[in-house]
Amino acid sequence: MVFELELIKWLQSFRSDLWDFFFQMWTIFGEELVIVGLMGFVYWCYDKKVGEALGITVFVSLVVNSIIKVIVQRPRPFLVDEAITNIRPQTAGGFSFPSGHTQGAATVFGGLAIWIRKRLFSIIVGVIIVMVALSRMYLGVHYLSDVVVGALLALGISYAFYWLLNKLENRTRLYIYLLFGAGIIFLVLCFYFIMTVEATATLTNAQNLYNTLEGVAKMMGAIFGFTIGVLFEHRKVAFSNHRVLWKNLIRFALGVGIVMGVRLGLKFVFGLIVDPEGLAEGELGLATLVVLFDFIRYGAMVLIGIGIYPLAFKRFNF
């Protein structure tokens, strides 16, 4: 722990506006818009089967990340040592171990590299993973062990799913098993933290409950939306990939716009009902409702992106 804090302080000793900008650009590779964009491109425009595999791999990896976070509950480095600056506060909510940005980037880029097996792309992916990991430490939001474990988990899960999905003739059964398993884990975690959550120095018990379960709820919702979306697409849509550039550009741009529009639109609507930041002490029922809203929001995003949006491909021939 002391060594890891000293390493972060050493990295931040080189701080300048240029280095702040440089590392914030790298950390974007582990953020939601990039992950959604890459998964969408692969699924809609490149190879639907690989896109499905990449999607379930990323969602399971990030569920594992979220579960470990709420079990370990390791505080961020800048909360432990006042000499460490939180340079990018908008990506530093929740707990520290393991690094969600590193694990997300390593899963989506590393998983794709495993599936397409191109040497140059694999080298580029290796650089991206290392730089995202370094950026998270430089920005003061993660320890060395956070990023190392996040990367190892991502690559381990990616290889495991590559092996498993290549062995299975019927992937749908696996998706359903994962859905039910994730649902049971989610309910157990919700019940446990509702019964045991307490206020902290800066958060009411209701805010603390939401902060604890937020990440798990989002990824559990994504797995639910993925499973329903895949079943719907297989039975009702069955779109095909093509190599017509202008049509793929439309697929990608419109798809990302729709998915992120659903994300932001539902966040706005649900925020009118309950404000997560305004949860008062004892409002555990409202906190649970906000958790449910995040589950629904991410489930809707993925369901629409995977199952419903591709209906337009055939309807409008793009």
Q: With CA atoms as reference, report the closest residue to 39 among 104, 133, 99, 102.
A: 104
Prior bond of 89 cis (ω within 30°) = no
Among the listed residues 60, 171, 173, 158, the one whose alpha carbon sits nearest the alpha carbon of residue 116: 158
What does the pLDDT read at residue 92?
Answer: 66
**Sequence-separated (6 or more) residues with CB below 8 Å from residue 255:** 40, 44, 305, 309
Tell me the C-alpha distance between 197 and 212, whole Å: 9
Calculate the alpha carbon distances from 210 to 86, 218, 277, 279 in Å.
22, 11, 9, 9
Q: How many CB atoms lie within 10 A of CB 265?
A: 12
Residues 11/138, Cβ–Cβ less than 8 Å: yes
Instruction: Return the closest-CA partner of residue 92 out of 129, 128, 146.
Output: 146
What pLDDT tens digit does each residue of the chain (318 aa) get? 788 999 999 999 989 999 999 999 999 999 989 999 999 999 999 999 999 999 999 999 999 999 999 899 899 999 888 889 888 877 767 789 999 999 999 999 999 999 998 999 999 999 999 999 999 999 999 999 999 999 999 999 999 999 999 988 888 888 888 888 888 988 998 899 998 988 887 889 999 899 889 999 999 999 999 999 999 999 999 899 999 999 999 999 999 999 999 999 999 999 999 988 888 898 999 999 999 999 999 999 999 999 999 999 988 999
In this structure, the number of other CB atoms found within 10 A of the CB of residue 165 comes to 17
DSSP class of residue 237 equals I
Count of other CB atoms within 10 angstroms of residue 255:
24
